[in-house]
Amino acid sequence: MWAYVIRRLGESLLILLGISLVTFALLYLVPADPARQIAGRSATAETVANIRAQLGLDQPFHVQYVRYLGNLLQGDLGRSYLQRTEVSELIAARMPATLLLMGAAIVVELILGLTIGAIAALKRNSAVDQSLMVFSFVTISAPQFVVGILLLYVFAVQLGWFPIGGYGTFAHLVLPAITIGLLGTGWYSRMMRSSMIDVLAQDYVRTARAKGLGKLRIILRHVAPNAILPVIAMIGIDIGLFMSGIVVVESVFGWPGIGQLAWQAIQRVDIPIIMGVTLVSACFIVLGNLLADLIAPLVDPRIKLK
Amino acid sequence: MTEAVASSPAHGRGTGRVLRDLVRRPRSAFGLTVIVTMLAAAIFAPWIMPYDPNDQMFDGLSLEGAPLPPSAEFWLGTDLLGRDLFSRLILGAQTSLIIGVLANGIAVVLGATVGITAGYFGGWIGGILMRFTDLMMAFPALLLAIVLAAIFKPSLLIVAMVIAMVNWVQMARVIYTETRSLAQREFIEVQRAMGSSTFRILGRHILPHLVYSIIVFGTLGISTTVLLEATLSYLGVGVQPPTPSWGNIIFENQTYFATAPWLVFFPGLAIVLLALAFNLLGDVLRDTLDPRLKGRH
């Protein structure tokens, strides 16, 4: 077990190293000149050249990358070009908002996804099942900015139940969490449905029925717990899905998390911030996958560790 | 004879039967209807569009200069510049489908090539390719696409390339797994022993087995592509105005969404319908083409 954990950890670190290299290479290719941006339009060529030398932007690629990596190992993500602040501080300041949104979205998708999947499985092949599955398809086919804007229109503009974007109270959290959660709901409900159907066909469920246990008791005590486990193991994977959504959803709702930070940085070509957020998101995704791999054998002992 | 049967599963079920299945099942029938309708709209756009989609009409705005709601004159209303929304949506169907097919085509070819190469040859080439695929899987896809799109000033082709760069990974993984198990099967070893060239084995005996997966995941992939294009265009780094795309129509008009919700609703509906259509079609294809794929994601 421990050998497996250590090997997977090593692999994860290698992937993160690869991601830092690819991100760095990509942004090295950006045609926009950060030195020119910092100096402003009216600056002389000399000033621009000075700033470039100051930032080390005149060095060859590998020198810049090695220095970047060295700083990374010390937890230094560099300084924002335009805000003159440490990127790590900017990200740390916005992390709580993103984590809050992530937590809320996971709650939404688990509640909705598991319930919908369970109902669909119990009413298998009925009209209820069909419509729930169509609903789950709609949720994975709807872009998050459309869902977000429509929710804002109906529940904030028309009904006035929630504020139009922003951050601070529980009411601010509801709509963005639902927007992100709906995408996951589609996946979870489909997984829960097939997992439930598998469990319902097991011998021990038949035994429980034969013993004359009540239907509700069988479902709550014997079916649901066994069906939920493999679905829960997917939460790790789900984090990747979440990280892709935050840029859009945080922009739509004006949610001050790292997604919004990244989006603002992209518009101003503030490269250190873009790299920082990409790396932090990648860490989350890699960690999530690692978690999923480590949880899976605990949940289902039949899965062998490779 | 046995060899032909073993290595060409495509002969097992007629294309006609699959098509009949698709038309009969409500979900795929719905998907096909939407796709065919939008395809027709895109192809015959110049004849269907009631107005010039780029014409900023004087009577396309109210006296106060606000966009007009849907009416008999402008079926889906007008946008903030007084352009006919229906005409722009039809032209937007062109954009979405061109990018959808192009980007997904590149992604499928790229993913299948990587998957087959890594799966068949294995060794260090396979190792490197699959590690690279793992790396791409861990990249926040949308963030990567945004960065790429922001670097290369977006044209239709660039947007398609960017989306393909992000989307080939899924296909590569699926094809890799299948090729690897195929490569170890007896009939492939027989071919090798008989001295068939690698090229022939891949083309005649491996590829035919992968056709189903390529069709299924290729169809599902179009849906992802359509959504990604819409999202990039919505963020302003995808298809650039004045070329209409459903995403950039929402991007241009979103400040008006509280007073002119149709400017978000109709393009949004178009995106959801097209993505849903390909998702439903892909899902039914998965069931009808290959029972082994059932329930897999």
Chain segment A139-148, per-residue pLDDT in tens: 999 999 999 9
Nearest CA distance, B256 vs chain A (angstrom): 11
Question: Is the pLDDT assigned to residue A300 strictly greater than 70?
Answer: no
- Residue A100 and residue A130 share a domain: yes
Residues A4 and A132 in one domain: no
Task: Based on the fold, state whether residues A47 and A21 are members of the same structural domain.
Answer: yes
Predicted local distance difference test score (pLDDT) of residue A273: 87
Q: What pLDDT is attached to residue A295? A: 76
Q: With contacts defined as CB-CB under 8 Å, which chain B residues touch A150?
A: 264-265, 268
Percentage of chain A lying above the pLDDT 90 cut = 22
Domain identity same for A102 and A78: no
Identify all chain B residues contacting A247, using CB atoms and an 8 Å cutoff.
142-143, 146, 235
Note whether A137 and A264 are same-domain residues: yes
- For residues A29-44, give the mean pLDDT: 72
The reply to whether A165 and A52 lie within a common domain is no
Q: Looking at the domain assignment, is residue A306 inside a domain?
A: no
- Would A80 be classed as within a structural domain? yes
Q: Which residue of A has its CA nearest to B275?
A: A141
The pLDDT score that the predictor gives to residue B2 is 40
The answer to whether A281 faces chain B, any CB pair under 8 Å, is: yes
Please count the CA atoms within 13 angstroms of the CA of A241 that sit on its side-chain side: 22
CA A81/CA A268 separation, integer angstroms: 9
Chain B residues with CB-CB distance to A245 below 8 A: 142
Residue B29, chain A, CB below 8 Å: the answer is: no
**Whether the predicted pLDDT of A55 surpasses 90:** no
Mean pLDDT in residue range A5-30? 83
Count, residues in chain A: 306
Q: Residue A265 — pLDDT band, cuts 50, 70, 90? A: confident
pLDDT at residue number B297:
39
* A51 lies in the same domain as A182: no
Q: How many CA atoms lie within 13 A of A151 on its CB side?
A: 24
Claim to verify: residue A245 and residue A126 sit in the same structural domain: yes
Domain shared by A94 and A236, yes or no? yes
Most confident stretch, A36-40, A193-197, B8-12, B186-190: A193-197
Residue A305 lies in a domain: no
Q: How many domains does chain A have?
A: 2
What pLDDT was estimated at residue B295?
Answer: 46
| Token pair 């044209």 in the structure block, residue | B155
Q: Please state the rounded mean pLDDT for residues A206-230.
A: 81
For residue A211, give how far its alpha carbon lies from the nearest alpha carbon of chain B (Å). 31
Distance, CA of A38 to CA of A8 (rounded, Å): 42
Q: Are residue A79 and residue A95 in the same domain, yes or no? A: no
Cβ atoms A183, A241 nearer than 8 A? yes
More confident residue, A235 or B212: B212
- Using the predicted structure, report yes or no on whether residue A305 has a pLDDT greater than 70: no
Measure B17 CA to nearest chain A CA, in Å: 23
Is B156 in CB contact (< 8 Å) with chain A?
A: no
Instruction: Give the mutation candidate from A244, A251, A285, A286 for the B interface (greatest B CB count, under 10 A).
Output: A244
**pLDDT number for residue B292:** 56
Mean pLDDT by 10 residues, chain B (297 residues): 42 71 86 92 87 80 80 81 87 90 93 91 86 84 78 80 88 89 82 81 85 90 91 87 88 84 91 94 84 48
Q: What is the pTM of this model?
A: 0.86
Q: What percent of chain A stands above pLDDT 70?
A: 95
- What is the distance in angstroms between the Cα of B281 and the nearest Cα belonging to chain A? 11
Closest CA to A121 of A194, A202, A223: A194
Q: What is the pLDDT of residue B3?
A: 40
Q: Which residue has the higher pLDDT, A48 or A111?
A: A111
Q: Hey, is the C-beta of A289 within 8 angstroms of any chain B C-beta?
A: yes
| Inter-chain touch A281–B297, beta carbons under 8 Å | no
Residues of chain A in contact with residue B271, where contact means CB-CB under 8 angstroms, are: 142-143, 146
Query: What HEC string does chain B produce?
Result: CHHHHHHCHHHCCCHHHHHHHHHHCHHHHHHHHHHHHHHHHHHCHHHHCCCCCCCCCHHHECCCCCECCCCCCCCCCECCCCCEHHHHHHHHHHHHHHHHHHHHHHHHHHHHHHHHHHHHHCHHHHHHHHHHHHHHHCCCHHHHHHHHHHHCCCCHHHHHHHHHHHHHHHHHHHHHHHHHHHHCCHHHHHHHHCCCCHHHHHHHHHHHHHHHHHHHHHHHHHHHHHHHHHHHHHCCCCCCCCCCCHHHHHHHHHHHCCCCCHHHHHHHHHHHHHHHHHHHHHHHHHHHHCHHHCCCC
Q: Which residue of B has its CA nearest to A130?
A: B27
Confidence at residue B266, expressed as pLDDT on a 0 to 100 scale:
92
Domain enclosing residue A109, as ranges? 89-299
Q: Does residue A98 surpass a pLDDT of 90?
A: yes
Between CA A102 and CA A96 the distance in angstroms is 10
Same domain, A253 and A292: yes
Of the three residues A84, A106, A133, the one that is the final residue of a domain is A84
Q: Cβ of B264 and A146 within 8 Å? A: yes
Chain A partners within 8 Å of B227 (Cβ): 141, 143
Which of B132, B151, B257 is nearest residue A153 as measured by Cβ atoms? B257
How many CB atoms within 10 Å of residue B68?
20
Q: Which of A168, A165, A182, A196 is nearest to A108 (CA)?
A: A182
| Inside any domain, residue A62 | yes
Residues 6+ apart with CB under 8 A from B12: none
Q: Do B147 and A26 touch (CB under 8 A)?
A: yes
- Choose one of A84, A107, A131: the last residue of a domain: A84
CB nearest B142 (choices: A23, A247, A289): A247
User: Is A35 part of a structural domain of the chain?
Assistant: yes
Which of 213-272 (B) contact A at CB < 8 A? 223, 227, 230-231, 234-235, 237, 247, 250, 254, 257-258, 261, 264-265, 268, 271-272
To test the contact with chain B by mutation, choose from A135, A141, A199, A238 the residue with the greatest count of B C-beta atoms within 10 A, namely A141
DSSP string, chain A: -HHHHHHHHHHHHHHHHHHHHHHHHHHHT-SS-HHHHHH-TT--HHHHHHHHHHHTTTS-HHHHHHHHHHHHHTT---B-TTT-SBHHHHHHHHHHHHHHHHHHHHHHHHHHHHHHHHHHHHTTTSHHHHHHHHHHHHHHHS-HHHHHHHHIIIIIIIS--S-SS-SSSHHHHHHHHHHHHHHHHHHHHHHHHHHHHHHHTSHHHHHHHHTT--HHHIIIIIIHHHHHHHHHTTHHHHHHHHHHHHHHHHHHHT--SHHHHHHHHHHTT-HHHHHHHHHHHHHHHHHHHHHHHHHHHHH-TTSPP-
The chain-wide mean pLDDT, for chain A, equals 84
Are A115 and A76 in a shared domain?
no
Residue where a domain terminates, one of A60, A84, A108: A84
Is A271 contained in some domain? yes
Residues of A in contact with B283 (CB under 8 A): 137
The rounded distance, in Å, linking the Cα atoms of B259 and A158 is: 10
CATH number at residue A276: 1.10.3720.10
Residue A304 lies in a domain: no
Angle formed at CA B296 by CA B295 and CA B297, multiple of 5 degrees: 120
Q: Do A149 and B134 touch (CB under 8 A)?
A: no
Asked if B138 lies within 8 A of A289 by C-beta distance, the reply is yes
Q: Residue B215 half-sphere exposure, CB side, CA atoms within 13 Å?
A: 19
Residues of B in contact with A251 (CB under 8 A): 235
Q: Which residue of B has its CA nearest to A245?
A: B142
Q: What is the pLDDT of residue B269?
A: 94
- When pLDDT is averaged across residues A59-65 and rounded to a whole number, the result is 83
**C-alpha span between B296 and A134 (Å, rounded):** 17
In a domain, A258, yes or no: yes
